[in-house]
Structure 1
Amino acid sequence: MSAKKTGLIFFPAFDWAISPTHPEREERLLYTRDQIFEEGVMDLPQIHEYAPRLASMHDISRTHFCVPRVQSQVTEAHLIAAGSTLQLGDSVINGEIKNGFAMVRPPGHHAMRVVHGNRGFCSINNEAILVEYLRRRHGIRKVAIVDSDAHHGDGTQDIFYHDPDVLFISFHQDGRTIFPGTGFTNELGGPGAYARTLNVPLPPGTADETFMYVVDNLVLPVVRDFQPEIIINSAGQDNHYTDPLGSMRFTARAYADFTRKLKPDLVVLEGGYAIETALPYINLAIILALAGADYSYVMEPDYWPGRFKESPERMSKVHKMVDQLLETWAKRDQVDLQKIFGTGKYYQRKKFIYYDTDYIEEEQLEKVCICPDCPGYILIESRGERNYREPIRIYAISVPFQACNACQNEAYEIYEQYKARAKYDYVYMQDKTTDTCMAFDKKKGQEWMTEG
């Protein structure tokens, strides 16, 4: 197979839906399928279609703490959506293809490290699972994730907030106007990964000109400076001007231009709910851009050049925000981190997380060990309550793959200590240095383990 090809996986998840009329349904991809066949895209010599495959339960537990266990939170459709990204990741790393597009559902970028249920239509995080898999299977270290969904990729941010080797950039509709209400410029990463998280909240009504300004003047320079081994685009398409859940004005042509400029190794579909008026055109344009083919003829029937005029005032504010973020990035290693994060052994933050799909309220305390030799292990106390039922309390420990021996040993000591405490229903250990995941069920007095 030629290394010049673009790999595609198409998985509409016919047997998975939140409800029959929910915006996140199989038609999101069926209209795209019709469009790309009608245009003869699948017959192009630059395109190779792969069959999807299943991710393993361990692929999920390497990334998430699913409560009480992975089988409780995922269906076969989730495993196939995640497994499809792994299939394309293998193919890119092995040189079979130059890049790939996983057109799959269910989406995943709102799924955080701890999973009590479904939020923002997401149960597990496909991109995060892919990153951890590439690290373990292929030795990849530095990864850039650029999230182009209208909704802030809060789950992906949460998972990599303390990871200095993952650059996460999200540009999205201002969280004051849309779910999940996060993604502001002061969210910059933890003490060991400061400025590896960059958020660009855009005002409603932002159109292509400002979109391209952010890409050209912030996204591309920072990604180049970071020098990742692999670039992943978390490709939400609800910034389109016809999307019913967003208030932005991006076009299919702009999405293609963004793809051509970013040159992602892997594109993973996230949101986008204008089933007929946006997704077929955006997906087609992205595929052509990835394949290096002409996409100049791709245009929505109701669009004409110059239809949307940018507000000079809003553009000025975005330009100023880009300048500030660039300065933050440039000075990231000169910052006095103790002034921001304190001088104690742990940096901690409280989080209140609402699962809008499953109506779960979660209270979480996250602590990261500040270590001079590695990013430090993470401790999480989490309490999840659904519809006034008895809350589930967990304690979770995550050891990063870059952890030093001292942090790894200390994390295991904490795991053993908390197994004996009656306060928690489940205690979890996730050791990425050895690719081992364990959990202890207090009520049953049982421990289970998965290994890669």
Structure 2
Amino acid sequence: MWEQGGRTVKSKKTGLVFFPAFDWAISPTHPEREERLLYTRDQIFEEGVLDLPEIEEYAPRLITIHDVARVHFCVPRVQSQVTEAHLIAAGSAALLADAVISGEIRNGFALVRPPGHHAMRVVHGNRGFCNINNEAILVEYLRRRHGIKRIAIVDSDVHHGDGTQDIFYHDPDLLFISFHQDGRTIYPGTGFPNELGGPGAYARTINIPLPPGLGDETFHYVVDNLVLPVLKDFQPEFIINSAGQDNHYTDPLGSMRFTAGGYAEFTRKLNPHLAVLEGGYAIETALPYVNLAILLALAGHDYSCIQEPDWPGRMPENPERVARVHKMVEQLLTVWQNRDRVDLEKIFGSGDFFQRRKQIYYDTDYIEEEQLERVRRCTRCPGYLTIDSRADHGYGRSNRVFCVSVPFNACSTCQSEAYDAYAGAKKITGFHHVYMQDKSTDTCLAFDREKGQEWVSEGPKVGD
């Protein structure tokens, strides 16, 4: 037994869950398909990694519908947006987290699909290959089940984790760091340095958009000079890596030049409690090597021998682009260091509510969504949030919903006002569905106007 981050750890093992989701695919030839994991599985078996005493494989497990409803407003209901595969992917991450908290394992790697980091708080369909957000569901699960409050998510996918950012943009106890290919050159077109969180969670969101063509050297400059210092200051109780691997130099959807060795060294430095697979679509040339390297790094094994067969050797980087990244890192570190001395009214204005309008496009299901998001600016808690969402599904089909979310540490005033907002929205005929998500009591409500019915879902008590 030894101490790690204030926890008594009984085991040196690394937990692994492998779930390729044979029965879920957007289409048979879509980049996000089961072969993403099958080649990795072959590589792991071929290398005999599962025979190592430091690695223990777990069987997958389902998350509950309520665990999803605690995070997402699924339209019209959770069951209409998720399959069993989605519940298993999210549930497997929660299973490994339970094992970490109990001390059965030191850390874990959820090698699962479907991915999730593009799924936002409101879900009208699939976007960016994602329906529900595995890491966000895990965060709220950790808070409700284990009482863990302060959590960090570091997203290493080539695409900006816009869904994770959206869900936690107003959460001061969740640090979200994403380094990714510049959104001006790749989907989803977001994730810029000025996206820093809402007025109650300023600088809890940090985005590092990287110019295309950069590799391991700049990757680790960002990690060493920004990611690790910010994490050290924030002192999270639990660290999650959204382990997207499409920054690899062979990935067909990205234009970066990271290597398997670079990812492994990043994993060693970050030392996450849990890595959860996100993107990565070079099925034969990247994923088997990157996944194996990450797993060995988590287990504390030597990964220096892991090298892609077509590795061209050290790849030069554009000096001008490197200099731009260095300057951005310096500026963002200054923002972080001065986060508590900022005049928030100059940035967000004054008033009891902060609001923003958002245009969201579902690239998989071709849905266009407009949102008006309003968050209560409270001095005693993060404040409750409301979303007026209108989705155009094409061919004259549209849906308008109203959503209310109460944070897990809400004050009594915000909780009361939130329920008043929910009750008031139920009287407005323009809303097809009205939702309440009260994380402070772990209660979820959903009102269907057409059926005139209200559903109530309550989670188990802590310790059940």
Deviates more, 1:229-238 or 1:338-347: 338-347
Choose which of 419, 431, 444 in structure 1 pairs with 2:426.
419
Matched residues in 2 for 1:389 and 1:151: separation? 31
CA RMSD of aligned residues (A): 0.8
| Matches for 1:71-220 after TM superposition, within 5 Å | 71-220=79-228
Aligned match of 2:237: 229
Shift of 1:2: 5.7
Identical counterparts, % of pairs = 75
Matched residues in 2 for 1:301 and 1:430: separation? 49
* 3-state SS of paired residue (1:256): helix
- What letter corresponds to residue 176 of structure 1 in structure 2? R
Aligned match of 2:451: 444
Aligned length: 451
* 3-state SS of paired residue (2:96): helix
* 3-state SS of paired residue (1:313): helix
Deviates more, 1:383-392 or 1:131-140: 383-392
Choose which of 14, 21, 30 in structure 2 pairs with 1:6.
14
Shift of 1:364: 0.4
Aligned match of 2:6: none
- What letter corresponds to residue 208 of structure 2 in structure 1? V
Does residue 1:342 correspond to 2:349, yes or no?
yes
Aligned match of 2:47: 39
Matched residues in 2 for 1:37 and 1:444: separation? 52
Does residue 1:397 correspond to 2:404, yes or no?
yes
- What letter corresponds to residue 341 of structure 1 in structure 2? F
Choose which of 368, 376, 388 in structure 1 pairs with 2:395.
388
Aligned match of 2:294: 286
Matched residues in 1 for 2:409 and 2:332: separation? 27
* 3-state SS of paired residue (2:163): helix
Choose which of 241, 254, 257 in structure 1 pairs with 2:249.
241
Does residue 1:15 correspond to 2:30, yes or no?
no
Shift of 1:389: 3.1
Aligned match of 2:4: none
Cα deviations across residues 181-201 of structure 1 (Å, max 9, x unaligned)? 000000000000000000000
- What letter corresponds to residue 218 of structure 1 in structure 2? L
Matched residues in 2 for 1:322 and 1:98: separation? 31
- What letter corresponds to residue 363 of structure 2 in structure 1? D
Shift of 1:391: 0.7
Matched residues in 2 for 1:305 and 1:219: separation? 26
- What letter corresponds to residue 23 of structure 1 in structure 2? P
Shift of 1:449: 1.0
Cα deviations across residues 331-368 of structure 1 (Å, max 9, x unaligned)? 00000001111111110000000000000000000000
Shift of 1:304: 4.2
Aligned match of 1:256: 264
Q: Unpaired runs of 5+ in structure 2?
A: 1-8, 460-464
Matched residues in 1 for 2:304 and 2:345: separation? 51
Matched residues in 2 for 1:44 and 1:117: separation? 41
Does residue 1:376 correspond to 2:344, yes or no?
no
Matched residues in 1 for 2:417 and 2:318: separation? 54
Aligned match of 1:318: 325
* 3-state SS of paired residue (1:333): helix
Aligned match of 2:462: none
Matched residues in 2 for 1:428 and 1:119: separation? 21
* 3-state SS of paired residue (1:417): helix
- What letter corresponds to residue 399 of structure 1 in structure 2? V
Matched residues in 1 for 2:274 and 2:184: separation? 30
Shift of 1:417: 1.1
* 3-state SS of paired residue (1:374): coil
* 3-state SS of paired residue (2:340): coil
Q: Unpaired runs of 5+ in structure 1?
A: none
- What letter corresponds to residue 289 of structure 2 in structure 1? Y
Matched residues in 2 for 1:89 and 1:191: separation? 30
Matched residues in 2 for 1:304 and 1:315: separation? 20
Choose which of 268, 280, 284 in structure 2 pairs with 1:272.
280
* 3-state SS of paired residue (2:456): strand
Shift of 1:390: 2.2
* 3-state SS of paired residue (1:391): strand
Matched residues in 2 for 1:304 and 1:140: separation? 44
- What letter corresponds to residue 255 of structure 2 in structure 1? S
Matched residues in 2 for 1:442 and 1:228: separation? 42
- What letter corresponds to residue 94 of structure 2 in structure 1? L
* 3-state SS of paired residue (1:220): helix
Cα deviations across residues 106-125 of structure 1 (Å, max 9, x unaligned)? 00000000000000000000
Cα deviations across residues 7-37 of structure 1 (Å, max 9, x unaligned)? 0000000000000000000000000000011
Aligned match of 1:407: 414
Matched residues in 1 for 2:297 and 2:169: separation? 30
Structure 1 length as normaliser, TM-score?
0.99
Structure 2 length as normaliser, TM-score?
0.97
* 3-state SS of paired residue (2:339): coil
* 3-state SS of paired residue (1:375): coil
Cα deviations across residues 367-419 of structure 1 (Å, max 9, x unaligned)? 00000111000010000111233210000000000110000011011111111
